[in-house]
Structure 1
């Protein structure tokens, strides 16, 4: 009795993916709704409030110094080795490669470039906004602080806001932004929030950022994700442009491969279908010598008249025994006077009487 193989969970996943050879139609593109506009406005106000609190050296700056003097890496040294690896989830290079690999596979399966283009736009916005804020405010980190209790602003630093935290919010939050179902969006939003929260607190534990840097990094990354629907028309136009260039390049390659090969025209010949302008064609050395130096048996003067075609009349078939031999019968060797036939004794000359 033959039994069927029981499908594993991985087999069911690949079977489901094989049923989606084309771009899914149920994927909804996020729009700039009223709810999203309210969240964006509230996050922007929170961002400005954090910056203002640090500038005026409020209670938030005092909290930064208290956490720095607490030195968490000395309080819990047993988790230091693990957090050194965990903080990599907020570095731009490794996280961008991992997320781009996943989104590239999704782009190939769904026949769309939107996931990769959305990631590229979000990272570009992250570099511009966070980089400009870092350079503009120039805050020094805890390891380079000069005056106890000061905000350490405009002293040539580049840690405000936290780039690790903002990068974790954007790179892992883009997975939730591009989710195809509401349930997947909720789960991915929770996962990205946990990862970005852990990365931010890890930088405070190690001592590379103030606590206010991390809070501002969360706000900076969330602003980019909330404002991303405004760039969806740009993403659509760029995708259409790239696909049009791909189709044009493919058609150009197919046209080049199927183009007919034109025969070279004779030198000085009249215009024809193969030689529209009568351009002299290149000739081989044999043709050149035959044209420039005529043979001795051909007359030099006078035009060459074409020979008439000779039509051969078919002859009746005759057997081989009745055909006339092409060569004479007998030996083909020329006669030799001094050659002696084998088997005969040569005559001796007679001498004397």
Structure 2
């Protein structure tokens, strides 16, 4: 009994804490495109274009890519190969999008807003458009499919540049920092997402599926999407308003088509006349005596309630049940002497 009471009290405290969270919390600010963010966006874009130019002209960066590829890290440290095979999943779009969408969906339900889910959808859409277009446009081959040693392998029909794993890790885990409710949480989550995404990128280099320049460009591509998200906040707000309006219209239409239930009829109070006294009830009403009395109408009395024999009050008979005899005397009295008759 004591254990059940403690468990009930703990659950009550948890639910009371959850119920304190207000609808559409006012302390969560929407990031805006400030001057600091514009400077970061411009610097990241310049870094992005510089990497592309360094690969196109087959500079020292391409030579570094080939040196790392010939180093073959997966042969130098084979003991961490099994762990990194699982760690690289943190950069795959499907599993990471499902995990982050589940968390943001719970936040949307608790805060009664669609902004977290809409922000995630917008960032993934921008990721697919920008990174996908860059991959197909530059057509670079990966290390396993390289043809000429020392070349940049550009325009050969590949889809390796920039690294999709790295860009996806930056956007998917960075969106948690972007939607953080406090500045302290935003700083910690930003550092954590940066380390995770760089780790995913270096893991692809270790496995030999990406060049080092692919990872650097993918990291810059994901960061550009996160920095540009405040420009899409008005569109996200309008989309949220439109979705809520659509929900309200569907509810109103469903309420019109559904049959309206009939209102319950409440019985009106009936005023009952007080019953007469028992003496007045038993005595029939007498008519005034008149000289010319017509035929008397029969009186219908209210039938008395029928009672079962078992419910009737037993009546104890008084005296003997035998019929009285004239020639018998009660006990204790002497009989008179009979006359003697004889011959």
**Interval containing the TM-score (normalised by the shorter chain):** 0.7 to 0.9
The match for 2:332 is none
- What does 1:279-294 align with in structure 2 at a 5 Å threshold? none
Using the size of structure 2 for normalisation, the TM-score is: 0.73
- What does 1:239-250 align with in structure 2 at a 5 Å threshold? 239-250=240-251
SS at 2:102's partner residue?
helix
Counterparts in 2 of 1:316 and 1:238: CA distance versus 1, 3 Å: farther
SS at 2:23's partner residue?
coil
The match for 2:91 is 90
- What does 1:149-188 align with in structure 2 at a 5 Å threshold? 149-188=150-189
Counterparts in 2 of 1:192 and 1:7: CA distance versus 1, 3 Å: farther
Computed over aligned residues only, the root mean square deviation of the Cα atoms, in angstroms, reads 2.6
For residues 242 and 46 of structure 1, what CA distance do their matches in structure 2 show?
A: 38
For residues 67 and 298 of structure 2, what CA distance do their matches in structure 1 show?
A: 121
Gaps of 5+ in 2: 263-296, 304-343
Q: How far is 1:260 from its partner?
A: 7.7
Counterparts in 2 of 1:144 and 1:27: CA distance versus 1, 3 Å: same
Q: Deviations over 1:166-225 (max 9, x none)?
A: 000000000000001101101111111111011000000000000000000000000000
Answer 1 or 2: higher relative contact order, Cα 8 Å, separation at least 6: 2
The match for 1:141 is 142
Counterparts in 2 of 1:320 and 1:258: CA distance versus 1, 3 Å: closer
Counterparts in 2 of 1:206 and 1:182: CA distance versus 1, 3 Å: same
Structure with the greater alpha carbon radius of gyration: 2
Gaps of 5+ in 1: 262-314, 322-353
Q: How far is 1:94 from its partner?
A: 0.3
The match for 2:49 is 48
The match for 1:78 is 79
Q: Deviations over 1:257-313 (max 9, x none)?
A: 24489xxxxxxxxxxxxxxxxxxxxxxxxxxxxxxxxxxxxxxxxxxxxxxxxxxxx
- What does 1:250-265 align with in structure 2 at a 5 Å threshold? 250-259=251-260
For residues 121 and 52 of structure 1, what CA distance do their matches in structure 2 show?
A: 28
For residues 225 and 106 of structure 2, what CA distance do their matches in structure 1 show?
A: 24
Answer with 163-172 or 7-16: which moved more: 7-16
Counterparts in 2 of 1:9 and 1:53: CA distance versus 1, 3 Å: farther
Q: How far is 1:254 from its partner?
A: 1.8
Q: Deviations over 1:148-168 (max 9, x none)?
A: 000000000000000000000
The match for 2:110 is 109
The match for 1:212 is 213
Answer with 250-259 or 128-137: which moved more: 250-259
Counterparts in 2 of 1:116 and 1:64: CA distance versus 1, 3 Å: same
The match for 1:66 is 67
The match for 2:341 is none
Using the size of structure 1 for normalisation, the TM-score is: 0.71
For residues 178 and 13 of structure 2, what CA distance do their matches in structure 1 show?
A: 25
Q: Deviations over 1:295-334 (max 9, x none)?
A: xxxxxxxxxxxxxxxxxxxx9774799xxxxxxxxxxxxx
For residues 8 and 85 of structure 1, what CA distance do their matches in structure 2 show?
A: 41
SS at 1:112's partner residue?
coil
Q: How far is 1:8 from its partner?
A: 11
